[in-house]
């Protein structure tokens, strides 16, 4: 076979895929208990949604988007992040006209044209949660807490929460001017100098060592927050403290997207090396107006599924996954195979994970399949058993075997595997 997955596309196959699926399910339950509803959004959007929402000066928009022209001449882009598309859907379907905040979550693949490496892929997967329509420190704290609770429920113990405030429309311009003054005096390349004039906060997010070394004495936005923003940020931190969630001040944390205001946060895992950020988000009170909607403050996050899987592996955390197979059927002969097929279906309907040997395998080959399946019990059914209306139930751990009436075997196994 000559075909392979495109470069930079992360795929999940068994057994790792079971972990990937399980952590999504755990998040779904976390979100449900907090009143969040699931929604499914488009994988591609009008390019201008991201240009106006995410920001044309960001690396995401200027360098990393997969943009194409469709047959109708429209410019479309594979989603590089979720928030702009989720907010577009909330506005388009009028969800904001009901109870506020609108609390929704979604997940799926996201696309960015980056240099592939472990933990950074061109097709990667995120969990996204948004609370739209409320400007309340408690909503911010709830959002952060839900992500923290999910990480800890998975068994991760080394996740760090980094917290900052990016100010508001009142205090950000003052800080912006002060930061521009500082940055213009540095020895920076032309592209970075151009960024100073468009969005100087993006320079603080530069990962190049030679740039970061010059930013050591850069002014901090925390020193320029207005009284309202200081109070708001203090309330968020107090609420997180009330929940026992540890946080660290990160005065240089700005994240990579233009729409963030006030509360900004990132989850970091030290065992992931250069790609240590495993999730993050923040408040985006001006995003709705930027894409043509009414004033609609919001906050949300994106959590990296790929990096969470890596973090679990690095910490040696093995999730308690449901068994792929609990009962494995072995049939000897055509009539027995037909009866076994029906029996396996009845077990599944009763809530038992069941499989069987296919292809007319002999007893030895079929029992190898039973061992490989991970099942706790094997059902062995031959022509004589069928005539006697019984089946042999074998405990694969102890090798003990008992004869059970066919009419009772489903109930017997339900009791054994549950």
Q: 260 labelled as ligand-binding?
A: yes
CA distance 155 to 149: 10
CA distance 80 to 102: 22
User: Do the bridges between strand 327-331 and strand 277-283 make them parallel or antiparallel, or are there none, so unpaired?
Assistant: unpaired
Determine if residue 353 is left, alpha or beta; phi over 0 gives left, psi from -120 to 50 gives alpha, anything else beta. Answer: beta
Contact 235, 241 (CB under 8 A): no
Strands of 44-46's sheet in order across: 44-46, 75-78, 67-69
Q: 29 labelled as ligand-binding?
A: no
CA distance 128 to 105: 5
In three-state secondary structure terms, 174 is helix
Look at the alpha carbons of 237, 238, 241, 243 in this order and tell me if their dihedral is positive or negative.
Answer: negative
Q: 83 labelled as ligand-binding?
A: yes
Q: 377 labelled as ligand-binding?
A: no
Q: 48 labelled as ligand-binding?
A: no
Would you state the structure tokens that stand for residue 281, as one six-digit string? 């988000």
Q: 81 labelled as ligand-binding?
A: yes
CA distance 30 to 150: 7
Cβ neighbours of 15 (radius 10 Å): 10
Q: 130 labelled as ligand-binding?
A: yes
If you ran DSSP here, which 8-state letter would residue 101 be given? S
Backbone angles phi, psi at 166, to 5 degrees: -105, 10
Q: 126 labelled as ligand-binding?
A: yes
Cβ neighbours of 399 (radius 10 Å): 7
Contact 127, 105 (CB under 8 A): yes
Backbone angles phi, psi at 69, to 5 degrees: -105, 125
Q: 93 labelled as ligand-binding?
A: no
Closest-CA residue to 24 (of 160, 154, 206): 154
CA distance 393 to 404: 7
Give binding residues for L-histidine as ranges.
81-83, 112, 126, 130, 255, 259-260
Give binding residues as ranges.
81-83, 112, 126, 130, 255, 259-260
């Amino acid at each position: 076979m000559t075909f392979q997955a495109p470069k930079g596309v992360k795929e999940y196959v068994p057994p790792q895929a079971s972990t990937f699926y399980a952590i999504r399910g755990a998040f779904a339950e976390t979100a449900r208990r907090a009143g969040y509803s699931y929604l499914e959004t488009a994988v591609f959007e009008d390019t201008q949604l991201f240009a106006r929402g995410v920001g044309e000066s960001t690396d995401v928009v200027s360098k990393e988007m997969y943009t194409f022209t469709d047959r109708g001449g429209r410019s479309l882009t594979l989603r590089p992040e979720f928030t702009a598309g989720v907010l577009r859907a909330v506005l388009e379907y009028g969800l904001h006209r009901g109870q506020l905040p609108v609390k929704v979550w979604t997940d799926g693949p996201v696309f960015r044209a980056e240099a592939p490496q472990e933990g950074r892929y061109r097709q990667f997967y995120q969990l996204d949660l948004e609370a739209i329509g409320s400007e309340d420190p408690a909503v911010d704290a709830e959002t952060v807490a839900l992500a923290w609770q999910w990480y800890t429920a998975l068994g991760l113990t080394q996740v760090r929460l980094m917290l900052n405030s990016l100010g508001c429309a009142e205090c950000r311009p003052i800080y912006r001017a002060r930061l521009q003054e500082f940055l213009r005096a540095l020895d920076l390349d032309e592209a970075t100098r151009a960024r100073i004039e468009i969005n100087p906060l993006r320079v603080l997010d530069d990962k190049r060592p030679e740039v970061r070394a010059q930013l050591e004495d850069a002014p901090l936005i925390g020193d320029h927050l207005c009284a309202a923003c200081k109070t708001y940020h203090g309330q968020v931190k107090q609420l997180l403290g009330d929940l026992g969630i540890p946080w660290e001040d990160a005065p240089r944390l700005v994240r990579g997207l233009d729409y963030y205001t006030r509360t900004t946060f990132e989850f970091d895992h030290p065992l992931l090396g250069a790609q240590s950020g495993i999730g993050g988000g923040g408040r985006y009170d001006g995003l709705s107006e930027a894409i043509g909607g009414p004033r609609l403050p919001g906050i949300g996050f994106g959590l990296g599924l790929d990096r969470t899987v890596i973090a679990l592996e690095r910490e040696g955390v093995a999730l308690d996954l449901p068994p792929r197979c609990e009962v494995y059927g072995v049939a000897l002969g055509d009539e027995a195979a037909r009866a076994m097929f029906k029996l396996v279906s009845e077990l599944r309907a009763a809530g038992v994970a069941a499989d069987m040997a296919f292809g007319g395998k002999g007893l030895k080959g079929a029992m190898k399949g039973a061992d490989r399946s991970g099942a706790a019990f094997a059902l062995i059914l031959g022509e004589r058993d069928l005539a006697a209306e019984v089946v042999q139930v074998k405990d694969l751990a102890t090798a003990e075997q008992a004869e059970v009436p066919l009419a009772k075997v489903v109930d017997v196994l339900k009791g054994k595997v549950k």
